[in-house]
């Protein structure tokens, strides 16, 4: 997803066609009517058939609809506080809109939802395994085996060389987010014009063309422990494979519980580089319950040059020990927002132009993983695996019962 244009204003609007269906409890319901609006310069795209998901933020109940030719949809809803997502895609052009904390209470509500524009990514995040597993046959929980998988979703060869990745502040979706604010008049969430990457920036090895990724091909990145974890914990995964990439740097992250020496099958030229460490932790960790994961490449300069330039590394508000790297959003290839299914108090960290939705991880320490859907029609046409990519994790991802690397 590149060359991002995004707009976050939510404006009260005139209603469109009321699609309220016959309902015996109709008197206790209110109609939410939403009109999706394309950003300036993209008004010619067909609005009909964009998918909409409305979620009750307290109960988790979800309601779905499709927009009509005017870009409208209406749903009859009980009183509540709702999160709204609208997504549409035309070839590589992706449009997303999101609104949080929309109150429906005692009367009908109408609003305009501006859509943001982005491009579908070439390299995308295919899977995130962060939640850990049980230590069976021993007692306890295990989280030393985190990994994620990248996928070439394009018809051209892509190169992993110098691809960067990291996670955002705050680490958890339930944490206090010092980077966003709320417009009291409109209720809109205002995001910064950068992504605040915390803990560290990792960069893949290579000089430009050392690590090609063929169309439909995957690459595994071990965030913790590039060893065979199944030798001790059978419900875990074997991350000691010769073609896997590894996060390992004992200078910055010396906790050997989470970062043991890579296994004997790991190639030394596949160890990722720490461009900068911005926190105090002795182990690099993705949140086990609700991380964000972002991948990008620096443009016009190297990543090392960027972090050394004034103003690109700034403190976390209210902290005197943690900094973030301010990643430009038009550098982003892909990003995924994960919510904690055990809590009703999740908040977005990624703006709609980057990821309009989220994937819910229902629980931790169960060996579950977060996987991107396969686009069966596009795969059949392309002759290789093409994954869903609407820049909206509500549409693109699902939770699996076990890790894809579990053997």
177 and 267 assigned to the same domain: yes
- CATH number for the domain that contains residue 74: 2.60.40.10
Domain tally, the chain: 2
Looking at the fold, whether 343 and 356 belong to one and the same domain comes out as yes
Domain end point (choices 58, 87, 118): 118
Q: What is the pLDDT of residue 186?
A: 62
- Same domain assignment for residues 107 and 193: no
304 plus 229 within the same structural domain = yes
Check pLDDT > 70 for residue 77: yes
pLDDT value, residue 21 = 45
164 token code pair: 């960067």
Cβ atoms of 195 and 168 closer than 8 Å = yes
Same domain, 267 and 158: yes
What is the rounded radius of gyration, in angstroms, for the C-alpha atoms of the chain?
22
129 and 111 in a common domain: no
* Residues 390 and 246 reside in one and the same domain: yes
For residue 206, count CB atoms less than 10 angstroms from its CB and return exposed for 0-12, middle for 13-18, buried for 19 or more: middle
pLDDT band at 2 (very low <50, low <70, confident <90, very high): very low
- 137-145 long-range contacts, CB within 8 A, separation 24+: 137/234, 138/233, 141/364, 141/365, 142/229, 142/233, 142/235, 142/236, 142/365, 143/224, 143/288, 143/365, 144/224, 144/225, 144/229, 144/257, 144/258, 145/224, 145/225, 145/229, 145/233, 145/236, 145/237, 145/239
Task: Name the percent of the chain lying above pLDDT 90.
Answer: 67
- Closest alpha carbon to 144 in 247, 2, 54, 5: 247
Instruction: Lowest mean pLDDT of 31-45, 52-66, 98-112, name the range.
Output: 31-45
With cut-offs at 50, 70 and 90, classify the pLDDT of residue 136: very high
Is the pLDDT at 364 greater than 90? The verdict is yes
Which of 81, 83, 120 lies closest to 98, judged by CA? Answer: 83
> For residues 136 and 134, what is the distance between their CA atoms, to the nearest angstrom?
5
pLDDT at res. 120:
65
Question: Do residues 138 and 240 share a domain?
Answer: yes
Provide mean pLDDT across the span 84-105. Answer: 81
pLDDT at position 24 over 80: no
Print the domain residue range for 309.
123-400
pLDDT in tens, 245-302: 999 999 999 999 999 999 999 999 999 999 999 999 999 989 999 999 999 999 999 9
**Any idea how long the chain is?**
407
- What is the per-residue pLDDT for 11? 37
Mean pLDDT lowest for which of 26-35, 189-198, 278-287? Answer: 26-35
Q: Is residue 16 one of the residues assigned to a domain?
A: no
| pLDDT score of 385 more than 60 | yes
Would residue 4 count as lying in a domain? no
pLDDT score at 10: 39
pLDDT band at 113 (very low <50, low <70, confident <90, very high): confident
SS (H, E, C) the chain: CCCCECCCCCECCCCCCCCCCCCCCHHHCEEEEEEEECCCCCCCCCCCCCEEEEEECCCCCEEEEECCCCCEEEEEECCEEEEEEEEEEECCEEEEEEEEEEEECCCCEEEEEECEEEECCCEEEEEEECCCEECCCCCCEECCCCEEEEEECCCCCEECCCCEEEEECCCCCCCCCCCCEECCCCCCEECCCEEEEEEEEEECCCCCCCCEECCCCEEEEECCCCCEHHHCCCCCCECCCCCCEECCCCCCCCCCCCCCCCCCCCCHHHECEEEEECCCCCCCCCCCCCCEEEEECCCCCCHHHHHHCCCCEEECCCCCCCEEEEEEHHHEEEEEEEEECCCCCCCCCCCCCCCCCCEEECCCCCCCEEEECECHHHHHHHCCCCECCCCCHHHHEEEECCCCCCC
Statement: residue 333 has pLDDT above 70: yes
> 8 vs 164, which has greater pLDDT?
164
Q: Are 221 and 94 in the same domain?
A: no
Final residue in a domain of this structure, among 101, 118, 135: 118
Peptide bond into 137 cis (omega under 30): yes
pLDDT (0 to 100) of residue 187 = 63
Q: Please check whether residue 361 is in contact with residue 368, taking contact to mean a CB–CB distance below 8 angstroms.
A: yes
Find the range with the poorest average confidence among 7-11, 28-32, 198-202, 376-380.
7-11
Query: Percent of the chain having pLDDT more than 70?
Result: 91
| Predicted TM-score of the model (pTM) | 0.81
Average pLDDT over residues 337-346: 94
Tell me which of 63-67, 86-90, 116-120, 279-283 is least confident. 116-120
């Amino acid at each position: 997803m590149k060359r991002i244009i995004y707009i976050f204003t939510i404006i009260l609007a005139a209603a469109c066609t009321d699609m309220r269906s016959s309902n015996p409890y109709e008197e206790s319901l209110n109609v939410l009517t939403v009109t999706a609006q394309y950003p300036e310069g993209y008004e010619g795209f067909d609005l009909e058939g964009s998918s909409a998901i409305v979620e009750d933020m307290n109960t988790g109940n979800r309601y779905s609809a499709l927009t009509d030719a005017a870009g409208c949809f209406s749903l009859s809803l009980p009183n509540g506080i709702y999160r709204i997502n609208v997504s549409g895609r035309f070839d590589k052009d992706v449009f997303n809109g999101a609104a949080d904390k929309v109150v429906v209470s005692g009367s009908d509500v109408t609003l305009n939802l501006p859509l943001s524009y982005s491009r579908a990514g070439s390299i995308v995040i295919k899977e995130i395994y962060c939640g850990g597993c049980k230590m069976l046959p021993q007692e306890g929980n295990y989280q030393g085996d985190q990994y994620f998988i990248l996928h070439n979703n394009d018809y051209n060869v892509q190169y992993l060389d110098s691809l960067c990745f990291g996670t955002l502040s705050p680490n958890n979706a339930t944490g206090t987010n010092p980077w966003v604010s709320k417009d009291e008049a409109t209720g809109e969430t205002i995001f910064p014009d950068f992504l605040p990457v915390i803990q560290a920036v990792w960069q893949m090895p290579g000089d430009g063309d050392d690590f090609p990724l063929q169309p439909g091909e995957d690459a595994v990145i071990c965030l913790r422990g590039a060893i065979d974890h199944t030798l001790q914990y059978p419900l875990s995964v074997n991350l000691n494979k010769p073609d896997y990439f590894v996060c390992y740097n004992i200078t910055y992250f010396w906790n050997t519980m989470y970062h043991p020496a890579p296994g004997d099958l790991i190639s030394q030229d596949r160890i990722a580089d720490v461009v900068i460490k911005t926190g105090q932790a002795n182990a690099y960790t993705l949140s086990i319950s609700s991380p964000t994961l972002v991948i990008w490449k620096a443009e016009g300069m190297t990543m090392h040059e960027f972090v050394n330039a004034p103003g690109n590394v700034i403190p976390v508000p209210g902290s005197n020990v943690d900094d973030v790297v301010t990643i430009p959003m038009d550098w982003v290839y892909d990003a995924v927002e994960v919510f904690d299914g055990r809590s009703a108090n999740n908040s977005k960290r990624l703006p709609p132009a980057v990821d309009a939705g989220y994937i819910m991880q229902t629980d931790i320490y169960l060996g579950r993983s977060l996987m991107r859907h396969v686009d069966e029609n596009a795969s059949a046409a392309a002759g290789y695996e093409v994954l869903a990519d609407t820049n909206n994790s509500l549409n693109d991802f699902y939770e699996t019962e076990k890790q894809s690397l579990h053997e």
